C-alpha cells in the first residue's frame, strides 16, 4: 500500500500531473516552439472552449521493452485525447505530442486514439485528429503497425457517420498519411510535410532529387495532388480554419447542419445582372456570383488551388448550410477534367452524407477532350460526378448561368440527374454543344456547297444559336423550371431550399453502390 496521508497523496498526484503536462520536457517544448509549432496541449487549449476539455487515459504508458524502452517514460504515451466543446458543440479529439518520442505512434498511443474515435461514434460528435508525428514508433515494431491499422479501421467506421477533420501540424510520413487520407478534410500548415516515402527513399529508389517541402509541403499537397483541402500559415490559423469548418457541419449524419438564427436579407442583387460579359467567350470569376448568393458573402472555399476550373465550398443561404459546386469560367473556360471531376464528386458525396443541400452553378463547355485525359481515365473520373449527383438525395438546386453543353450539362446536376429545381439565367445556353461546332456538323454539306463558305458558316451558326443557345427550348421541355433575372437568384434559391427541407427520397436497399474509381 502506498505510504502518506491524504495531503501527501494529493501533492504526489499534482506533481505527477505537472510532469505529464510537460510531455517530453521543457527542452523539447522549447525546440517545438523554436520550429514555429505549438505543443499538443497548447493546440488542444486553443481549439476547445475554455474549461470544456476532459482528457482521457491521462496516465497511459507504453509497455514496450525492446531497444532500451523498458523503464523509459512516455507521458500520456505521446498523444493527448479527450472530449470537449468547440463553440458550444461537443467534439472528440486526439493531438499527437511531438515532444514525446517525436509523437511516434506505438500500441497504446494508437489505442488511445481509437478510444477517442469510438467516443465520437457513440455520441455522434465530430472527430479531430491533430497529427505531428514521426509515424509508427520504430522500437515497438509490428505492435505500432497493428495500432495504426486499428486507427485506419476506426476511420472507416466513422466515415459518413461523423465528420472527421485532420490537422497536419508536423511531419506525417509513411502509412501515417493514410489516416488523414481516410478522413473528410485535411488542413495542413506550412510547417508540416506529408508523404508516403520521404526524399531519401525516393532518391534511393527512383534517383529523383527533391526536398521534403517540394515533395510534401502544404502547397504541393494542395495544388498538385489535391490531398489537402486547406493550407494554413501556422497552427493558430489551422485551428481557426477547423473551427470555421465545423460551424457549417452537423455533428453527425442524423442531424441537420446548424441553422444560424438571424435576419437574412432576401433582396434583389443588381450586381448579378452585370457578372456575365456580353461576349460569350469572355471569362469571369464565378466567385463573384457565389459571394453574392451566400449570406454576408461568407464563402468557405475548399481546395482553393487544386483543379481551379471548378470551385467548391460551403456557404449559407438564409442561415442554412449549402455545398456550392460551380464551374469556374476563369480557368480553362470551366471545362470538366479528371481532377475537377474528382474534386467535385468527393465534395458532393460529403454533403450528401451530412445532409447538406447542394447548390450547383453551371457554366461549362463540357468535358476536356484529349489523349492524356482519355488515357488518364476521364470516362471513369467524369462518371464519378454523374454517380455522386445521381446518388445524392439531399435537396439539389441548379442554376445555369451560361454554357451548359453536352454531357457536362447532364453531369452538373441537370434535371435528369435529380435536380429538384433548375433555374436558368437569360444568358443560358442549354445545348448538345456550342453553336460553332454544331453548325459545322449539322450543316456540313450546305457550308461545303455554299459559294461564300464563311458567310454560310456564320449564318448557320447564328441559326443554331438562336434556336438552342437560349434557355427557352430547355424551358419548353421542362428541363428548366424557370428563367430568372440574375438579380433574383438568391431569392429563388432560398425559397427552393426552404421548400425542400422536408424532402424524402427512398432508394432500394443495397449494401452500397459502386462509384467508378
CB 202 within 8 A of CB 180: no
Residue 170 annotated among the catalytic residues of the structure: no
Identified catalytic residue from 124, 141, 160, 175? 175
Among 32, 57, 104, 373, binds ligand HXC (CB under 6 A): 104
Q: Could you give phi then psi for residue 429, rounded to 5 degrees?
A: -125, 100
CB 210 within 8 A of CB 232: no
Based on the shown chain and the rule CB under 6 A, indicate whether residue 176 belongs to the binding site for ligand HXC. yes
Residue 174 annotated among the catalytic residues of the structure: yes
Based on the shown chain and the rule CB under 6 A, indicate whether residue 138 belongs to the binding site for ligand HXC. yes
Based on the shown chain and the rule CB under 6 A, indicate whether residue 102 belongs to the binding site for ligand HXC. yes
Tell me whether residue 221 or residue 340 sits nearer to ligand HXC (CB atom).
Answer: 221
Among 37, 41, 62, 137, binds ligand HXC (CB under 6 A): 137
Tell me whether residue 193 or residue 340 sits nearer to ligand HXC (CB atom).
Answer: 193
Based on the shown chain and the rule CB under 6 A, indicate whether residue 174 belongs to the binding site for ligand HXC. yes
- Of 3, 111, 91, 5, the closest CA to residue 47 belongs to 91
Q: How far is the CB of 331 from ligand HXC (least distance, A)?
A: 35
Tell me whether residue 135 or residue 250 sits nearer to ligand HXC (CB atom).
Answer: 135
Q: How far is CA 332 from CA 282, 284, 363, 365, 492, in A?
A: 11, 11, 12, 10, 29
**How many other C-beta atoms lie within 10 A of the C-beta of residue 212?**
16
Q: How far is the CB of 149 from ligand HXC (least distance, A)?
A: 6
Tell me whether residue 163 or residue 170 sits nearer to ligand HXC (CB atom).
Answer: 170
Among 148, 332, 425, 464, binds ligand HXC (CB under 6 A): 148
Tell me whether residue 150 or residue 237 sits nearer to ligand HXC (CB atom).
Answer: 150
Based on the shown chain and the rule CB under 6 A, indicate whether residue 136 belongs to the binding site for ligand HXC. yes
Q: What is the DSSP code (8-state) at residue 181?
A: H
Based on the shown chain and the rule CB under 6 A, indicate whether residue 175 belongs to the binding site for ligand HXC. yes
**Concatenated DSSP letters for 297-315?**
G--EEESTTSSTTEEEEEE
Identified catalytic residue from 176, 238, 344, 408? 408
Q: How far is the CB of 197 from ligand HXC (least distance, A)?
A: 9
Q: How far is the CB of 96 from ligand HXC (least distance, A)?
A: 11
Helices and strands of the chain, counted as H and E runs: 20, 16
State how far the Cα of 353 lies from the Cα of 231, in Å rounded to an integer. Answer: 24
Tell me whether residue 164 or residue 341 sits nearer to ligand HXC (CB atom).
Answer: 164
CA triple 251-253-256, angle to 5 deg: 70
Judged by CB under 6 A, the stretch of 67-75, 135-143, 406-414, 455-463 that binds ligand HXC is: 135-143
Judged by CB under 6 A, the stretch of 97-105, 330-338, 360-368, 439-447 that binds ligand HXC is: 97-105
Judged by CB under 6 A, the stretch of 50-58, 144-152, 372-380, 484-492 that binds ligand HXC is: 144-152
CB 419 within 8 A of CB 395: no
3-class DSSP assignment, residue 51: coil
Q: How far is the CB of 104 from ligand HXC (least distance, A)?
A: 3
Q: What is the DSSP code (8-state) at residue 417?
A: G
Question: Cβ contacts of residue 263 below 8 Å, gap of 6+?
Answer: none
Which ranges constitute the DSSP H helices of 124-160? 142-158
Residue 175 annotated among the catalytic residues of the structure: yes
Tell me whether residue 23 or residue 395 sits nearer to ligand HXC (CB atom).
Answer: 23
CA triple 315-321-326, angle to 5 deg: 45
Number of residues near ligand HXC (by CB under 6 A): 17
Among 101, 195, 284, 354, binds ligand HXC (CB under 6 A): 101
State how far the Cα of 320 lies from the Cα of 501, in Å rounded to an integer. Answer: 10
Based on the shown chain and the rule CB under 6 A, indicate whether residue 149 belongs to the binding site for ligand HXC. yes
Tell me whether residue 146 or residue 291 sits nearer to ligand HXC (CB atom).
Answer: 146
Count CA atoms closer than 13 A to 479's CA, side-chain side: 19
Q: How far is the CB of 92 from ligand HXC (least distance, A)?
A: 22
CA triple 442-443-444, angle to 5 deg: 95
Looking at the DSSP assignment, which residues form a beta bridge with residue 326? Answer: 311, 361
Q: How far is the CB of 138 from ligand HXC (least distance, A)?
A: 4
Q: How far is the CB of 66 from ligand HXC (least distance, A)?
A: 11
State how far the Cα of 351 lies from the Cα of 349, in Å rounded to an integer. Answer: 5
Question: Cβ contacts of residue 452 below 8 Å, gap of 6+?
Answer: none
Identified catalytic residue from 82, 102, 103, 174? 174
CA triple 197-210-102, angle to 5 deg: 45
Q: Which residues are catalytic?
A: 174-175, 407-408
| Site of interaction with ligand HXC (CB under 6 A) | 101-102, 104, 134-139, 145, 148-149, 171, 173-176
Amino acid at each position: 500500500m502506498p505510504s502518506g496521508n491524504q495531503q501527501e497523496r494529493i501533492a504526489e498526484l499534482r506533481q505527477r500531473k505537472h510532469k505529464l503536462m510537460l510531455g517530453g520536457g521543457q527542452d523539447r517544448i522549447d525546440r517545438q516552439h523554436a520550429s514555429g509549432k505549438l505543443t499538443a496541449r497548447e493546440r488542444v487549449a486553443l481549439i476547445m472552449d475554455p474549461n470544456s476539455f476532459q482528457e482521457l487515459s491521462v496516465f497511459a504508458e507504453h509497455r514496450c521493452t525492446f531497444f532500451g524502452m523498458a523503464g523509459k517514460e512516455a507521458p500520456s504515451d505521446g498523444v493527448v485525447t479527450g472530449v470537449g466543446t468547440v463553440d458550444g458543440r461537443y467534439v472528440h479529439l486526439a493531438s499527437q505530442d511531438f515532444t514525446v518520442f517525436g509523437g511516434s505512434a506505438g500500441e497504446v498511443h494508437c489505442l488511445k486514439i481509437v478510444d477517442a474515435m469510438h467516443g465520437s461514434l457513440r455520441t455522434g460528435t465530430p472527430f479531430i485528429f491533430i497529427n505531428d508525428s514521426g509515424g509508427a514508433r520504430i522500437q515497438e515494431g509490428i505492435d505500432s503497425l497493428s495500432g495504426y491499422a486499428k486507427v485506419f479501421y476506426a476511420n472507416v467506421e466513422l466515415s459518413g457517420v461523423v465528420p472527421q477533420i485532420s490537422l497536419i501540424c508536423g511531419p506525417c510520413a509513411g502509412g501515417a498519411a493514410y489516416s488523414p487520407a481516410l478522413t473528410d478534410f485535411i488542413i495542413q500548415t506550412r510547417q508540416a510535410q506529408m508523404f508516403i516515402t520521404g526524399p531519401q527513399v525516393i532518391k534511393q529508389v527512383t534517383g529523383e532529387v527533391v526536398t521534403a517541402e517540394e515533395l510534401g509541403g502544404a502547397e504541393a499537397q494542395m495544388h498538385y495532388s489535391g490531398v489537402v483541402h486547406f493550407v494554413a500559415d501556422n497552427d493558430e490559423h489551422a485551428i481557426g480554419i477547423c473551427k470555421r469548418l465545423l460551424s457549417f457541419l452537423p455533428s453527425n449524419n442524423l442531424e441537420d447542419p446548424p441553422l444560424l438564427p438571424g435576419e437574412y436579407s432576401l433582396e434583389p442583387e443588381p450586381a448579378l445582372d452585370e457578372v456575365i460579359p456580353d461576349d460569350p467567350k469572355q471569362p469571369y470569376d464565378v466567385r463573384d456570383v457565389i459571394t453574392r448568393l451566400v449570406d454576408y458573402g461568407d464563402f468557405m472555399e475548399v481546395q482553393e488551388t487544386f483543379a481551379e476550373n471548378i470551385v467548391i465550398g460551403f456557404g449559407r443561404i438564409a442561415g442554412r448550410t449549402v455545398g456550392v459546386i460551380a464551374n469556374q469560367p476563369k480557368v480553362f473556360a470551366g471545362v470538366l477534367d479528371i481532377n475537377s471531376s474528382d474534386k467535385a464528386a468527393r465534395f458532393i458525396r460529403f454533403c450528401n452524407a451530412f445532409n447538406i443541400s447542394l447548390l450547383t452553378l453551371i457554366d461549362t463547355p463540357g468535358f476536356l477532350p484529349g489523349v492524356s485525359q482519355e488515357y488518364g481515365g476521364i470516362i471513369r473520373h467524369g462518371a464519378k460526378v454523374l454517380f455522386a449527383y445521381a446518388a445524392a438525395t439531399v435537396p439539389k438546386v441548379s442554376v445555369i448561368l451560361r454554357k451548359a453543353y453536352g454531357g457536362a450539362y447532364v453531369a452538373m446536376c441537370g434535371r435528369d440527374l435529380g435536380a429538384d429545381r433548375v433555374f436558368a439565367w437569360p444568358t443560358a445556353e442549354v445545348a448538345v454543344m456550342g453553336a460553332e461546332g454544331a453548325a459545322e456538323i449539322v450543316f456540313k454539306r450546305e457550308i461545303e456547297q455554299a459559294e461564300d463558305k464563311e458567310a454560310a458558316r456564320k449564318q448557320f451558326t447564328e441559326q443554331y444559336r438562336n434556336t438552342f443557345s437560349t434557355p427557352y427550348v430547355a424551358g419548353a421541355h421542362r428541363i428548366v423550371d424557370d428563367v430568372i433575372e440574375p438579380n433574383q437568384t438568391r431569392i429563388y434559391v432560398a425559397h427552393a431550399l426552404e421548400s425542400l427541407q422536408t424532402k424524402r427520397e427512398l432508394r432500394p436497399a443495397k449494401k452500397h453502390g459502386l462509384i467508378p474509381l
